[in-house]
C-alpha cells in the first residue's frame, strides 16, 4: 500500500507555527515516500469551533505550499471544497459512519452505554482526589446488560458510550520517533467514545477515519502519546490493523523549558505572511524544529526537504524556537530574491507608510531616474539588511523622504571622538569636492572621497560618517558611496548644503 499521511486540525482558531510543524513533517514524509498528503477537518467539538478557522487553515497551508492531494482544500476562487474517494473529509459530515461503528462495538461488548449524571461523575472525581487516586470512571454502568442498556436508551435516558478497556494487557507500540513504548491496560480509563449529543470524541473519530481513509502513518505531537494505547486498543476492538505512529517533539520557547508561547513565536502562520516572511523561509526554518538532515546543510527547497526527510532523523527532545535564527533564515531567502521581487514585496509596506503612492513618489525629490528604476536601486541597496519585509519603511524611508534638518540631525552627523567645528569644516570641503565631481557612480565617488581622506590625513569616519548621516538622518543605512550614487548629485546636495549654512 502506498504511503498515506493526514493532517487533521480542529477548527478552533488560527493554527500557530508549532501546529503547522506537524503538517510540514506529514507533508514532507508523504512526498518523500511517493505518497499522498490528506487534509481532514476534525470539527466534532462544536462548542469550541470558531468561524473562519477552516478558511484560515486552508489559506495557511496554501501559502506554505502544502496543498493537500486529497481532502478539504481551497478552490482557485477561494471556496472550501473536498476531493477524494473516501470522504467526507469533515468529521461533522460523517456522524452516520461513527454511529454505525459504535453500534458494532456496543453489540460486541467492546463499548457500553454510561448513564451516570454529571453530578455523580463530579462527586466521584472529588472523592478520588480526596483519596489521592487517579481520576477515572468507576465502571458502574459497565455491569449493565445489553438489554437493560438498550431499554434505558430507548426510554430517552441520556447517555454517553465508553470504551470497555481490557484488564491485564500490555499495549506495545514501536513508535517511529520514540521507539518502543509500553502501556498497561489496567491504568487506562474507560474513556468516552460518543458524547451525549451524538458527536464522537477524538478517540473514536480519528481511529474510524484513519482506517476508512487508509492512513498508513499518523504523525502527531507528543502530547497525544497518552492517547496511543486507547487508539491501539480500539483498532484491536474493531479487528483492524493500526497505522504506524510517530509522536513529534514539542516546540519549546527560547528558554528550552516551556512550550512555545504566543509572545515568542506561537502566532498564526498568516501573521508571518503579514509581517513579510517568505513561505519558503518559514517552511525551511520550521522543518528544522526537531529534525536535521544529518549534514551541515542549512537551506533546502521544498522538494529537497521531501527527498531528505526521514523520521529516524527526528529528535525525541523538545525543539527550541529561536527568533534570531528565524530572522536569519528569512533574511537569507530574501537575499536570494531577484531585485524585481524585492520591489514587489516592499511596495505594499511603503504604500501603507505613505512614503510612495500608486503613481510614484509621495514627496518631490530631485532625482533624475524614473521612479521604478530608482525604486529598484533602493531595493538592491536595502536587500542585504532586510530580515522581513515589514521592516521596509525602517530601512528605506530616507530614500523617499528628506531628513529634517534640526538639532538632532546636526548632532547625529558628528562622529564619535569628533567635534562640531571639525565636522562642519570637513563637510564644507566635501560639498566643494562633490560639486566638482563629474562622474556620479559608486566606484568613482569612492575614489574621489578616499583620495580626499588620504590627502587631508583624515580618519575615514570623520569624512564618511557625516555624509551618510546627513543624507539619511539615521545611524543605520547603506554605505556612503552607495547612498550618494542612488540619490544622485542634485538630491544629495539638497541634503548636504542646509547643514553648513546658518
Catalytic residues: 262
The Cα-based distances of 110 to 102, 164, 261, 467 in angstroms read: 9, 5, 40, 82
DSSP conformational letter for 314: B
Residue 265 near residue 282 (C-beta atoms within 8 A):
no
User: What is the sign of the dihedral through the CA atoms of 117, 121, 124 and 126?
Assistant: negative
What strand order describes the sheet that includes 217-221? 80-83, 70-74, 36-39, 4-7, 217-221, 244-248
Q: From the DSSP assignment, how many helices (H) and strands (E) are in the chain?
A: 20, 13
The cell numbers describing 419, all together, are 567635534
Which residue, chain included where needed, has cell 537551506? 299
Helices (H), 43-200: 53-64, 95-107, 118-130, 146-154
- Count other Cβ atoms within 10 Å, centred on residue 377: 19
Give the C-alpha separation, 395 to 389, whole Å.
10
Helices (H), 302-338: 302-308, 323-335
Give the C-alpha separation, 238 to 220, whole Å.
22
Residue 86 near residue 213 (C-beta atoms within 8 A):
yes
DSSP labels, 17-55: HHHHHHHHHHHHHHHHTT-EEEE-B----TTT--TTHHH
Amino acid at each position: 500500500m502506498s504511503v498515506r499521511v493526514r493532517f487533521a486540525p480542529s477548527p478552533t482558531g488560527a493554527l500557530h507555527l508549532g501546529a503547522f510543524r506537524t503538517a510540514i513533517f506529514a507533508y514532507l514524509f508523504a512526498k518523500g515516500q511517493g505518497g499522498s498528503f490528506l487534509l481532514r477537518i476534525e470539527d466534532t467539538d462544536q462548542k469550541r469551533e470558531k468561524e473562519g478557522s477552516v478558511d484560515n487553515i486552508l489559506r495557511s497551508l496554501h501559502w506554505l505550499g502544502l496543498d493537500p492531494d486529497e481532502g478539504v482544500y481551497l478552490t482557485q476562487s477561494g471556496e472550501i471544497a473536498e476531493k477524494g474517494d473516501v470522504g467526507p473529509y469533515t468529521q461533522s459530515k460523517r456522524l452516520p459512519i461513527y454511529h454505525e461503528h459504535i453500534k458494532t462495538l456496543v453489540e460486541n461488548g467492546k463499548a457500553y452505554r454510561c448513564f451516570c449524571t454529571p453530578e455523580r461523575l463530579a462527586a466521584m472525581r472529588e472523592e478520588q482526589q480526596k483519596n489521592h487516586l487517579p481520576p477515572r470512571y468507576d465502571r458502574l454502568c459497565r455491569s449493565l446488560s445489553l438489554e437493560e442498556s438498550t431499554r434505558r436508551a430507548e426510554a430517552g435516558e441520556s447517555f454517553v458510550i465508553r470504551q470497555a478497556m481490557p484488564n491485564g494487557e500490555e499495549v506495545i507500540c514501536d513508535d517511529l520517533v520514540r521507539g518502543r513504548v509500553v502501556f498497561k491496560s489496567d491504568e487506562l480509563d474507560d474513556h468516552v467514545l460518543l458524547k451525549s449529543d451524538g458527536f464522537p470524541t477524538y478517540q473514536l473519530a480519528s481511529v474510524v477515519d484513519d482506517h476508512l481513509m487508509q492512513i498508513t502513518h499518523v504523525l502527531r505531537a507528543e502530547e497525544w502519546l497518552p492517547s496511543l494505547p486507547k487508539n491501539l486498543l480500539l483498532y484491536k476492538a474493531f479487528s483492524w490493523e493500526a497505522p504506524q505512529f510517530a509522536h513529534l517533539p514539542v516546540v519549546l520557547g527560547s528558554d528550552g523549558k516551556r512550550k512555545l508561547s504566543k509572545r515568542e513565536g506561537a502566532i498564526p502562520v498568516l501573521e508571518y505572511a503579514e509581517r513579510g516572511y517568505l513561505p519558503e523561509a518559514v517552511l525551511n526554518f520550521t522543518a528544522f524544529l526537531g529534525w536535521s538532515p544529518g549534514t551541515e546543510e542549512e537551506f533546502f527547497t521544498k522538494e529537497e526537504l521531501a527527498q531528505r526527510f526521514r523520521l529516524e532523523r527526528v529528535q525525541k527532545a523538545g525543539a527550541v524556537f529561536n527568533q534570531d535564527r528565524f530572522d536569519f533564515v528569512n533574511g537569507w531567502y530574501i537575499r536570494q530574491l531577484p531585485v524585481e521581487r524585492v520591489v514587489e514585496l516592499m511596495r505594499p509596506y511603503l504604500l501603507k507608510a505613505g512614503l510612495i503612492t500608486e503613481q510614484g513618489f509621495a514627496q518631490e525629490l530631485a532625482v533624475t531616474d524614473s521612479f521604478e528604476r530608482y525604486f529598484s536601486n533602493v531595493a538592491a541597496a536595502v536587500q542585504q539588511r532586510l530580515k522581513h519585509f515589514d521592516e521596509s519603511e525602517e530601512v528605506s524611508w530616507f530614500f523617499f523622504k528628506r531628513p529634517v534638518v534640526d538639532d538632532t540631525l546636526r548632532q547625529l552627523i558628528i562622529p564619535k571622538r569628533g567635534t562640531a567645528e571639525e565636522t562642519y569644516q570637513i563637510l564644507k570641503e566635501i560639498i566643494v569636492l562633490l560639486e566638482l565631481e563629474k562622474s556620479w557612480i559608486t566606484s568613482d565617488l569612492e575614489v574621489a572621497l578616499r583620495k580626499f581622506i588620504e590627502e587631508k590625513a583624515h580618519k575615514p569616519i570623520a569624512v564618511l560618517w557625516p555624509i551618510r548621516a546627513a543624507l539619511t538622518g539615521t545611524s543605520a543605512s547603506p554605505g556612503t558611496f552607495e547612498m550618494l550614487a542612488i540619490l544622485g548629485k542634485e538630491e544629495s546636495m539638497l541634503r548636504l548644503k542646509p547643514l553648513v549654512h546658518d
